[in-house]
Structure 1
Protein backbone atom coordinates (compact mmCIF):
# COMPACT_ATOMS: atom_id res chain seq x y z
CA UNK A 1 0.00 0.00 0.00
CA UNK A 2 1.03 3.60 -0.54
CA UNK A 3 2.06 6.20 2.01
CA UNK A 4 0.30 9.42 3.09
CA UNK A 5 2.26 11.50 5.60
CA UNK A 6 1.05 14.34 7.80
CA UNK A 7 4.14 16.55 7.99
CA UNK A 8 5.55 18.80 10.68
CA UNK A 9 4.12 16.98 13.70
CA UNK A 10 7.24 15.51 15.33
CA UNK A 11 10.06 17.15 17.23
CA UNK A 12 12.25 16.64 14.16
CA UNK A 13 11.48 19.58 11.87
CA UNK A 14 10.44 18.72 8.36
CA UNK A 15 12.39 20.28 5.51
CA UNK A 16 9.17 20.02 3.52
CA UNK A 17 7.21 22.41 5.77
CA UNK A 18 8.20 26.01 6.45
CA UNK A 19 6.62 27.84 9.37
CA UNK A 20 6.32 31.58 9.02
CA UNK A 21 5.45 33.89 11.88
CA UNK A 22 3.63 37.16 11.36
CA UNK A 23 1.46 39.52 13.37
CA UNK A 24 -1.60 37.30 12.95
CA UNK A 25 0.01 34.06 14.15
CA UNK A 26 1.81 31.08 12.70
CA UNK A 27 1.42 30.18 9.03
CA UNK A 28 2.70 26.90 7.61
CA UNK A 29 3.72 26.64 3.98
CA UNK A 30 3.85 23.20 2.38
CA UNK A 31 6.81 23.00 0.02
CA UNK A 32 5.53 19.69 -1.40
CA UNK A 33 2.23 17.88 -1.22
CA UNK A 34 -0.94 19.71 -0.28
CA UNK A 35 -2.35 21.80 2.54
CA UNK A 36 -5.68 20.65 3.92
CA UNK A 37 -7.27 22.28 6.98
CA UNK A 38 -4.03 24.05 7.92
CA UNK A 39 -2.01 20.80 7.78
CA UNK A 40 0.56 19.61 5.23
CA UNK A 41 0.11 16.18 3.67
CA UNK A 42 2.43 14.45 1.23
CA UNK A 43 1.74 11.24 -0.70
CA UNK A 44 4.44 8.78 -1.74
CA UNK A 45 3.74 6.33 -4.55
CA UNK A 46 6.10 3.56 -3.46
CA UNK A 47 4.51 0.54 -1.84
CA UNK A 48 5.46 -0.17 1.79
CA UNK A 49 4.32 -2.25 4.74
CA UNK A 50 2.52 -0.41 7.56
CA UNK A 51 5.67 -0.23 9.68
CA UNK A 52 7.85 0.87 6.74
CA UNK A 53 5.30 3.56 5.87
CA UNK A 54 5.22 4.78 9.46
CA UNK A 55 9.03 4.94 9.67
CA UNK A 56 9.17 6.75 6.31
CA UNK A 57 6.79 9.45 7.55
CA UNK A 58 8.76 9.84 10.79
CA UNK A 59 11.97 10.26 8.77
CA UNK A 60 10.24 13.10 6.87
CA UNK A 61 9.33 14.86 10.13
CA UNK A 62 5.75 13.62 10.23
CA UNK A 63 3.48 10.69 10.88
CA UNK A 64 1.02 8.63 8.87
CA UNK A 65 -1.95 10.82 8.00
CA UNK A 66 -5.39 10.34 9.51
CA UNK A 67 -8.46 12.31 8.40
CA UNK A 68 -10.17 14.09 11.29
CA UNK A 69 -13.53 14.60 9.61
CA UNK A 70 -15.58 14.19 6.47
CA UNK A 71 -14.34 17.31 4.67
CA UNK A 72 -10.71 16.46 5.38
CA UNK A 73 -11.30 12.86 4.29
CA UNK A 74 -12.84 14.02 1.00
CA UNK A 75 -9.99 16.48 0.36
CA UNK A 76 -7.38 13.78 1.10
CA UNK A 77 -9.18 11.33 -1.18
CA UNK A 78 -9.16 13.91 -3.99
CA UNK A 79 -5.45 14.66 -3.41
CA UNK A 80 -4.54 10.96 -3.40
CA UNK A 81 -6.60 10.29 -6.53
CA UNK A 82 -4.83 13.11 -8.39
CA UNK A 83 -1.31 12.40 -7.12
CA UNK A 84 -1.16 8.58 -7.04
CA UNK A 85 -4.26 7.29 -8.79
CA UNK A 86 -7.90 6.49 -8.18
CA UNK A 87 -7.28 2.85 -7.32
CA UNK A 88 -4.39 3.45 -4.90
CA UNK A 89 -4.76 2.16 -1.37
CA UNK A 90 -2.95 3.97 1.43
CA UNK A 91 -1.95 3.33 5.00
CA UNK A 92 -3.65 5.59 7.53
CA UNK A 93 -2.24 6.56 10.91
CA UNK A 94 -4.49 4.14 12.78
CA UNK A 95 -3.66 0.89 14.51
CA UNK A 96 -4.89 -1.63 17.03
CA UNK A 97 -1.46 -2.88 18.11
CA UNK A 98 -2.05 -2.41 21.85
CA UNK A 99 -5.42 -4.20 21.89
CA UNK A 100 -7.03 -6.02 18.97
CA UNK A 101 -10.05 -4.07 17.73
CA UNK A 102 -9.31 -0.97 19.88
CA UNK A 103 -8.27 1.56 17.25
CA UNK A 104 -6.07 4.54 18.14
CA UNK A 105 -4.25 7.19 16.12
CA UNK A 106 -0.46 7.50 15.91
CA UNK A 107 -0.37 9.47 19.19
CA UNK A 108 -2.30 6.74 21.00
CA UNK A 109 -5.43 8.89 21.11
CA UNK A 110 -8.90 7.57 20.30
CA UNK A 111 -10.26 7.72 16.75
CA UNK A 112 -12.93 10.40 16.36
CA UNK A 113 -13.73 9.94 12.66
CA UNK A 114 -14.48 6.51 11.26
CA UNK A 115 -15.55 6.31 7.65
CA UNK A 116 -13.83 3.19 6.41
CA UNK A 117 -15.22 1.85 3.15
CA UNK A 118 -15.96 -1.60 4.53
CA UNK A 119 -18.20 -2.42 1.58
CA UNK A 120 -15.15 -2.09 -0.70
CA UNK A 121 -12.46 -3.57 1.52
CA UNK A 122 -12.42 -5.85 4.51
CA UNK A 123 -9.83 -3.66 6.25
CA UNK A 124 -9.66 -2.88 9.02
CA UNK A 125 -11.19 -6.20 9.96
CA UNK A 126 -10.19 -6.26 13.63
CA UNK A 127 -10.39 -10.02 13.82
CA UNK A 128 -7.41 -11.33 11.89
CA UNK A 129 -4.76 -10.27 14.43
CA UNK A 130 -3.03 -8.09 11.83
CA UNK A 131 -2.48 -5.16 14.21
CA UNK A 132 -2.14 -2.39 11.67
Structure 2
Protein backbone atom coordinates (compact mmCIF):
# COMPACT_ATOMS: atom_id res chain seq x y z
CA UNK A 1 0.00 0.00 0.00
CA UNK A 2 2.85 2.34 0.82
CA UNK A 3 4.40 1.75 -2.62
CA UNK A 4 1.13 2.62 -4.34
CA UNK A 5 0.76 5.77 -2.23
CA UNK A 6 4.29 6.85 -3.14
CA UNK A 7 3.60 6.10 -6.81
CA UNK A 8 0.45 8.21 -6.75
CA UNK A 9 2.34 11.09 -5.12
CA UNK A 10 5.12 10.80 -7.70
CA UNK A 11 2.57 10.78 -10.49
CA UNK A 12 0.83 13.89 -9.16
CA UNK A 13 4.15 15.69 -8.68
CA UNK A 14 5.40 14.89 -12.18
CA UNK A 15 2.05 15.89 -13.66
CA UNK A 16 2.04 19.20 -11.77
CA UNK A 17 5.57 19.94 -12.90
CA UNK A 18 4.40 19.44 -16.46
CA UNK A 19 6.70 16.66 -17.60
CA UNK A 20 6.06 16.50 -21.31
CA UNK A 21 5.02 13.13 -22.68
CA UNK A 22 4.56 11.55 -19.24
CA UNK A 23 1.27 9.95 -18.32
CA UNK A 24 0.40 8.46 -14.96
CA UNK A 25 -0.77 5.38 -16.83
CA UNK A 26 2.93 4.73 -17.54
CA UNK A 27 3.52 3.69 -13.93
CA UNK A 28 0.61 1.25 -13.50
CA UNK A 29 -0.36 -2.06 -15.03
CA UNK A 30 -3.71 -3.86 -15.00
CA UNK A 31 -4.28 -7.57 -15.31
CA UNK A 32 -5.48 -8.76 -18.75
CA UNK A 33 -9.00 -7.61 -19.62
CA UNK A 34 -8.95 -4.70 -17.16
CA UNK A 35 -8.55 -1.02 -18.06
CA UNK A 36 -6.80 1.59 -15.97
CA UNK A 37 -8.98 4.43 -14.72
CA UNK A 38 -8.36 7.60 -16.69
CA UNK A 39 -8.48 9.82 -13.61
CA UNK A 40 -5.03 8.95 -12.21
CA UNK A 41 -6.51 6.65 -9.59
CA UNK A 42 -4.68 3.31 -9.35
CA UNK A 43 -7.80 1.24 -10.01
CA UNK A 44 -8.45 -1.10 -12.90
CA UNK A 45 -11.98 -1.78 -14.14
CA UNK A 46 -13.61 -4.53 -16.16
CA UNK A 47 -17.21 -4.68 -17.33
CA UNK A 48 -18.50 -8.25 -17.07
CA UNK A 49 -21.26 -8.85 -19.59
CA UNK A 50 -22.62 -11.93 -17.83
CA UNK A 51 -25.80 -11.31 -15.88
CA UNK A 52 -26.12 -12.53 -12.29
CA UNK A 53 -27.31 -11.47 -8.86
CA UNK A 54 -25.32 -9.01 -6.70
CA UNK A 55 -23.78 -11.61 -4.34
CA UNK A 56 -22.70 -13.84 -7.23
CA UNK A 57 -21.24 -10.79 -9.00
CA UNK A 58 -19.30 -9.84 -5.86
CA UNK A 59 -17.96 -13.41 -5.56
CA UNK A 60 -16.95 -13.35 -9.24
CA UNK A 61 -14.96 -10.13 -8.75
CA UNK A 62 -13.34 -11.46 -5.58
CA UNK A 63 -12.18 -14.58 -7.45
CA UNK A 64 -10.45 -12.20 -9.89
CA UNK A 65 -8.66 -10.53 -6.99
CA UNK A 66 -10.91 -7.49 -6.70
CA UNK A 67 -14.38 -6.40 -5.72
CA UNK A 68 -17.40 -4.76 -7.29
CA UNK A 69 -16.50 -1.27 -8.49
CA UNK A 70 -16.87 1.79 -6.32
CA UNK A 71 -17.32 5.43 -7.27
CA UNK A 72 -15.88 7.79 -4.69
CA UNK A 73 -15.70 10.79 -7.02
CA UNK A 74 -17.56 12.30 -9.94
CA UNK A 75 -14.73 11.15 -12.26
CA UNK A 76 -15.06 7.53 -11.16
CA UNK A 77 -18.85 7.74 -11.45
CA UNK A 78 -18.63 9.10 -15.01
CA UNK A 79 -16.13 6.41 -15.98
CA UNK A 80 -18.40 3.64 -14.67
CA UNK A 81 -21.45 5.18 -16.35
CA UNK A 82 -19.64 5.32 -19.70
CA UNK A 83 -18.77 1.63 -19.34
CA UNK A 84 -22.38 0.65 -18.62
CA UNK A 85 -23.69 2.67 -21.57
CA UNK A 86 -21.63 0.48 -23.91
CA UNK A 87 -23.75 -2.57 -23.04
CA UNK A 88 -27.26 -1.12 -22.98
CA UNK A 89 -28.34 -3.76 -25.51
CA UNK A 90 -27.63 -6.41 -22.83
CA UNK A 91 -28.70 -4.52 -19.71
CA UNK A 92 -29.12 -0.88 -18.75
CA UNK A 93 -28.17 -1.81 -15.18
CA UNK A 94 -24.77 -2.91 -13.89
CA UNK A 95 -23.99 -3.88 -10.30
CA UNK A 96 -21.56 -1.74 -8.33
CA UNK A 97 -20.17 -2.42 -4.87
CA UNK A 98 -22.76 -0.46 -2.92
CA UNK A 99 -25.47 -1.83 -0.65
CA UNK A 100 -27.54 -1.25 2.48
CA UNK A 101 -27.80 -4.93 3.48
CA UNK A 102 -26.75 -4.34 7.10
CA UNK A 103 -28.89 -1.27 7.81
CA UNK A 104 -31.72 0.04 5.64
CA UNK A 105 -30.82 3.42 4.17
CA UNK A 106 -27.15 3.29 5.27
CA UNK A 107 -25.19 2.59 2.11
CA UNK A 108 -21.64 1.25 2.25
CA UNK A 109 -19.15 0.21 -0.43
CA UNK A 110 -17.74 -3.31 -0.46
CA UNK A 111 -14.41 -1.84 0.68
CA UNK A 112 -16.15 -0.85 3.94
CA UNK A 113 -16.27 2.89 3.29
CA UNK A 114 -19.49 4.87 3.64
CA UNK A 115 -21.18 6.23 0.55
CA UNK A 116 -20.38 9.91 0.10
CA UNK A 117 -22.39 11.58 -2.62
CA UNK A 118 -21.34 15.17 -2.01
CA UNK A 119 -20.37 15.18 -5.71
CA UNK A 120 -23.69 13.76 -6.91
CA UNK A 121 -26.87 15.63 -7.81
CA UNK A 122 -28.97 12.81 -6.45
CA UNK A 123 -27.85 9.96 -4.29
CA UNK A 124 -29.67 6.67 -4.72
CA UNK A 125 -33.09 6.21 -6.26
CA UNK A 126 -35.02 4.41 -3.51
CA UNK A 127 -38.40 3.01 -4.41
CA UNK A 128 -39.06 -0.07 -2.34
CA UNK A 129 -37.80 -1.26 1.05
CA UNK A 130 -36.63 -4.71 -0.05
CA UNK A 131 -34.10 -3.37 -2.54
CA UNK A 132 -30.72 -3.49 -0.82
CA UNK A 133 -28.15 -3.74 -3.62
CA UNK A 134 -27.17 -0.90 -5.91
CA UNK A 135 -26.80 -0.92 -9.68
CA UNK A 136 -25.80 1.87 -11.99
CA UNK A 137 -28.71 2.74 -14.30
CA UNK A 138 -27.63 3.98 -17.73
CA UNK A 139 -31.07 4.74 -19.19
CA UNK A 140 -30.94 8.22 -20.71
CA UNK A 141 -32.79 10.65 -18.46
CA UNK A 142 -32.75 8.23 -15.52
CA UNK A 143 -28.99 7.80 -15.13
CA UNK A 144 -27.67 7.20 -11.65
CA UNK A 145 -27.50 4.76 -8.79
CA UNK A 146 -30.62 2.70 -8.18
CA UNK A 147 -31.22 0.19 -5.41
CA UNK A 148 -32.85 -2.94 -6.74
CA UNK A 149 -33.43 -6.48 -5.49
CA UNK A 150 -30.13 -8.27 -4.93
CA UNK A 151 -31.25 -11.37 -6.83
CA UNK A 152 -31.93 -9.39 -10.03
CA UNK A 153 -29.73 -10.42 -12.95
CA UNK A 154 -27.48 -7.56 -14.08
CA UNK A 155 -24.13 -7.10 -15.74
CA UNK A 156 -21.48 -5.76 -13.35
CA UNK A 157 -18.16 -3.95 -13.07
CA UNK A 158 -15.20 -5.44 -11.23
CA UNK A 159 -12.42 -3.28 -9.82
CA UNK A 160 -8.88 -4.25 -8.83
CA UNK A 161 -5.90 -2.27 -7.63
CA UNK A 162 -3.38 -1.44 -10.34
CA UNK A 163 0.11 -2.83 -10.00
CA UNK A 164 3.27 -0.79 -10.33
CA UNK A 165 4.82 -1.05 -13.79
CA displacement at 1:54 relative to structure 2: 0.6
1:34-78 per-residue CA deviation (whole Å, 9 max, x = no partner) reads: 211321000110111011111111111100001111112112222
The residue that corresponds to 2:28 in the other structure is: 28
With normalisation by structure 2, the TM-score equals 0.53
RMSD, aligned CA: 3.0
**Distance change (3 Å), C-alpha of 1:101 and 1:92:** same
**Structure 2 residue 70 is the aligned partner of structure 1 residue 66:** yes
**Distance change (3 Å), C-alpha of 1:126 and 1:58:** farther
Are 1:101 and 1:126, in contact at CA under 8 Å, matched by a contact in 2?
no
CA displacement at 1:80 relative to structure 2: 2.8
CA displacement at 1:92 relative to structure 2: 1.1
1:96-121 per-residue CA deviation (whole Å, 9 max, x = no partner) reads: 11111111111222112364877xxx
The residue that corresponds to 2:82 in the other structure is: 78
Count of aligned residue pairs for this structure pair = 106
Q: Which has the higher helix share?
A: 2
Unaligned stretches of 5+ in structure 1?
A: 1-18
2:46 to 42, 46, 59: 42
Structure with more contact order per residue of length (Cα contacts < 8 Å, sep ≥ 6):
2
With normalisation by structure 1, the TM-score equals 0.65
Unaligned stretches of 5+ in structure 2?
A: 12-26, 134-165
The residue that corresponds to 1:131 in the other structure is: 132
